[in-house]
């Protein structure tokens, strides 16, 4: 009771600052290690309620949406809620000039109106398990890194085969803690996914690039889909006979609102963090890597924007591509600033010094970890020598002109035809290429791609050391006398890969010779060969780094045996928890923990597509027709902040209250904490979430989709977090006792 009273008084008296952002992306299987702290913060659930294999649990409502986002099931009939930017590509895919669902939004008023999205799938986690012992079977400390990797790979293959025997599941084994631990993840994949609802871009992407990663935010970043199954409830490709999924677990929707200090948690699939990154890696990121990526992406965005601004149909074609590039263009700008401002390199160096002091205290730790920092530092000396070539290849070639990526997809066909593989295999590959041509050219603009090619080739030649460039590029520079527009004209005129009809003609009469001589194929193969050759030169350095990284993490854990460590994110299910909080981004600057529709109207600017407010939304605002979704003071909340530890991949993750009910969707991080993937900063790190009440307002008042409201379970009461103890009802003696206990703590 005293503990409860202390928590209560902390809020009443205003010294609740001990409840801060909780660092960590925790493995649900092991959440028992955190459950007491979570319950002390207000959680009303048990560990079994969160993760269970034998019974329905919260994990059964969480999905991997598409290839890189999270979603959640919010009804008994497989209704999915995720971010608008997660569904963006799918919404674009089913849009046409006549039915532009990005601009106009889409709402299915019955299940018959829901639209199947070709190629979209979702994954449910069936179970996970610690596979460390099996994965490291027969692995010894005196093995080379290459031999170690081969043995682990062999062991993992056996683990996966066993997990998928006699079932249709997909299994993967992921590495944790730098290769010190391994976990098995078993998924069930569903492929009949249909678009149910999406607000127009003016709501779902309000603020767009200008507001991306920024607070205050006013974006209704959500979209809705549905999982369909066979009549037996099993995964099935699209069929009119399929039925809505009978959900194993779904999240109730709580519309009572949030308040500062409320406990909340997020369950999702964070993509990747580098919290154990060394000071040497931070130095290279600041000095070269990050701004190289920014520089290349800035040029790509400029080229795409020029074409998009000139033609509305091109804007629709390239909207999703542009958004993907822009998102992490801005991210790396913010991350670099954050790393510098927060002196992350210095903090990493201090941690490494403390680590080596501990190592040098005993002969045992010296033998185990003495070479750790030297391995890492010497590895980065070598890696830095070819770092520019690496990033220019990835950003300017591999993720550059589409003609190159498309040509490279045909390289396996070329090889099969040259080696005279059996006709059945070759014909199957050709049929796959034929079906892929429609997808390739649906959202393709030759003018943009030609400009992209010319610019990327020129940037590569001007910025990568000459001795690390493919001889091919040097020849092309000489042949066209440094005129990269002429070079691009030649490629796009002679190659089959910039024209759908030429590709189709080739596939109808395929010849290996045609592919071998195609100028786009020649170019992309030259760049890939060059990259692989240079990467091979860093093989020893990468093995040193892998070993040093693994030893460093193992040593840190041994150095701090009582600390509950969490692994870096790797796009597997994690849980993070914290509270609803405001923050102070700079001296004399305070950000409230929520935004309202007032901010939408204050930002309105009809001259730019980023800040257009739809007429119907303005009408709702002007009439204050918020219904039961309004805040207690009559305002309409749009977004709110929490202290959660998230990253890319968490987009679309549910924000869940103490009772396991949905109160919002995570969709962004804040600008001041862009270095958070490398170093968590509790005073600054915030997650930006769209308030579920704003989501419901749009579904109800804006779209009029009562059918969707009816299938959800709506909760209208807030969880009771702590006993309500009014300040005047507490004696001075108790207050002094609590203050004294807090001071001692």
Which of 643, 696, 639, 693 has the alpha carbon at shortest distance from 667? 639
Catalytic residue among 84, 85, 218, 249: 85
**To 10 degrees, what angle do helices 290-310 and 446-463 make?**
160
Q: Is 449 a catalytic residue?
A: no
Return the bridge partners of 64, or none: 70, 123
Which residues lie closer than 8 Å to 510 by C-beta, 6 or more apart?
A: 413, 417, 426, 430
Cβ atoms of 87 and 201 within 8 Å: the answer is no
Q: Crossing angle, helix 372-383 and helix 539-559, to 10 degrees?
A: 150
Q: Could you confirm whether 302 is annotated as catalytic?
A: no
Residue 443 among the catalytic residues: no
Q: What stretches of 215-289 show up as alpha helix (H) in DSSP?
A: 279-284
Report which of 534, 533, 535, 553 is spatially closest to residue 543, judged by C-alpha positions: 535
Q: Give the ranges where 399-511 is alpha helix by DSSP (H).
A: 402-408, 411-418, 423-442, 446-463, 471-479, 484-494, 500-508
User: Active site residue: 49, 60, 221, 645, which one?
Assistant: 221
Q: Which two tokens stand for residue 658?
A: 């103490």
H or E segment and range at residue 618: helix 615-623
d(CA 12, CA 727): 6
Supply the Cα-derived Rg of the chain in whole angstroms: 27
Tell the residue number behind the tokens 């008042």, with chain if given.
Answer: 701
Measured CA to CA, the distance from residue 565 to residue 84 in angstroms comes to 33
CA-to-CA distance for 690 and 655, rounded, in angstroms? Answer: 9
Distance CA 351, CA 558 (A): 14
Distance of CA 605 to the CA centre of its chain: 30
- What angle in degrees, to the nearest 10, is found between the helix axes of 539-559 and 145-163? 70
Q: How far is residue 710's CA from residue 698's CA, in Å, rounded to a whole number? A: 15
User: What's 699's DSSP letter?
Assistant: I
Structure-block tokens of residue 130: 């610690």
In the three-class reduction of DSSP (H, G, I as helix; E, B as strand; rest coil), residue 583 is classed as strand
List the catalytic residue out of 651, 668, 677, 691: 651
Neighbours of 589 (CB within 10 A): 9
The residues annotated as belonging to the active site are 85, 221, 651
């Amino acid at each position: 009771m005293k503990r409860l009273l202390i928590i209560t008084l902390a809020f009443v008296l205003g010294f609740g600052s001990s409840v801060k952002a909780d660092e960590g992306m925790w493995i649900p299987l092991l959440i028992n290690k955190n459950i007491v702290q979570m319950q002390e913060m207000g959680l009303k659930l048990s560990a079994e309620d969160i993760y269970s294999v034998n019974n329905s649990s919260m994990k059964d409502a969480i999905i991997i949406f598409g290839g890189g986002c999270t979603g959640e099931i919010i009804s008994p009939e497989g209704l999915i809620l995720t971010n608008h930017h997660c569904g963006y590509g799918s919404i674009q895919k089913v849009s046409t000039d006549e039915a532009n669902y990005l601009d106009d939004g889409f709402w299915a008023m019955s299940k018959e109106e829901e639209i199947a999205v070709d190629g979209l799938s979702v994954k449910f986690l069936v179970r996970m398990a610690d596979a460390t012992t099996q994965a490291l079977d027969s692995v010894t400390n005196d093995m080379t890194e290459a031999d170690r990797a081969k043995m682990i790979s062999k062991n993992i293959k056996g683990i996966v085969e066993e997990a998928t025997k006699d079932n249709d599941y997909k299994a993967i084994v992921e590495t944790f803690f730098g290769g010190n631990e391994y976990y098995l993840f078993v998924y069930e994949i569903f492929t009949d996914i249909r678009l149910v609802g999406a607000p127009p871009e003016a709501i779902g992407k309000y603020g767009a690039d200008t507001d991306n990663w920024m607070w205050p935010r006013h974006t209704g970043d959500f979209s809705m889909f549905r999982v369909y199954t066979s009549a037996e409830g099993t995964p099935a490709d699209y069929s009119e006979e399929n039925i809505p999924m009978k959900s194993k677990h779904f999240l109730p929707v709580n519309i009572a609102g949030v308040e500062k200090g409320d406990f909340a948690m997020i369950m999702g699939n964070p993509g990747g963090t580098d919290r154990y990154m060394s000071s040497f890696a931070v130095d290279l990121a600041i000095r070269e890597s990050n701004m190289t990526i920014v520089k290349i992406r800035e040029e790509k965005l400029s080229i795409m924007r020029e074409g998009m601004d000139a033609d509305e149909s091109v804007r629709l074609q390239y909207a999703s591509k542009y958004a993907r590039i822009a998102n992490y263009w801005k991210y790396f700008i913010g991350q670099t600033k954050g790393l510098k401002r927060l002196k992350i390199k210095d903090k990493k160096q201090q941690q490494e010094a403390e680590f080596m002091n501990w190592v040098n205290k005993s002969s045992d730790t010296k033998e185990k970890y003495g070479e750790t920092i030297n391995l890492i530092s010497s590895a980065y000396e070598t890696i830095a020598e070819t770092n520019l070539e690496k990033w220019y290849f990835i950003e300017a070639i591999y993720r550059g002109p589409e003609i190159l990526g498309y040509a490279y997809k045909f390289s396996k066909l070329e090889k099969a035809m040259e080696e005279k593989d059996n006709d059945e295999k070759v014909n199957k590959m050709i049929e796959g290429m034929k079906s892929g041509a429609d997808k390739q050219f649906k959202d393709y603009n030759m003018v943009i791609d030609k400009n992209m090619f010319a610019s990327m080739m020129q940037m590569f030649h001007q910025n990568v050391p000459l001795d690390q460039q493919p001889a091919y590029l040097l020849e092309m520079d000489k042949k066209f006398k440094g005129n990269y527009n002429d070079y691009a004209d030649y490629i796009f005129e002679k190659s089959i890969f910039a024209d759908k009809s030429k590709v189709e003609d080739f596939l109808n009469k395929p010849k290996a010779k045609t592919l071998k001589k195609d100028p786009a194929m020649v170019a992309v193969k030259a760049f890939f060969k060059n990259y692989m050759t240079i990467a091979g030169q860093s093989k020893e350095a990468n093995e040193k780094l892998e070993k040093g990284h693994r030893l460093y993490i193992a040593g840190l854990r041994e150095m701090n045996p009582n600390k509950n460590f969490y692994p870096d994110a790797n796009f597997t299910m994690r849980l993070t928890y914290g509270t609803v909080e405001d923050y102070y981004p700079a001296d004399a600057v305070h950000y409230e923990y929520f935004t309202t529709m007032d901010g939408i109207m204050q930002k309105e600017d009809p001259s730019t597509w980023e800040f257009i407010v739809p007429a119907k939304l303005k009408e709702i605002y002007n009439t204050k027709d918020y219904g039961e979704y309004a805040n207690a003071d009559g305002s309409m909340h749009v977004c709110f902040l929490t202290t959660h530890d998230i990253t890319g991949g968490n987009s679309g993750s549910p924000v869940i209250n103490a009772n396991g009910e949905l109160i919002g969707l995570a969709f962004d991080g804040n600008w001041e904490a862009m270095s958070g993937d490398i170093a968590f900063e509790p005073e600054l790190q915030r997650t930006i979430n769209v308030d579920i009440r704003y989501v419901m307002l749009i579904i109800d008042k804006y779209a009029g989709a009562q059918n969707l409201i009816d299938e959800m379970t709506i909760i209208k009461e807030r969880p009771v977090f702590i006993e309500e103890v009014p300040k005047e009802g507490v004696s001075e003696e108790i207050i002094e006792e609590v203050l004294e206990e807090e001071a001692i703590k």
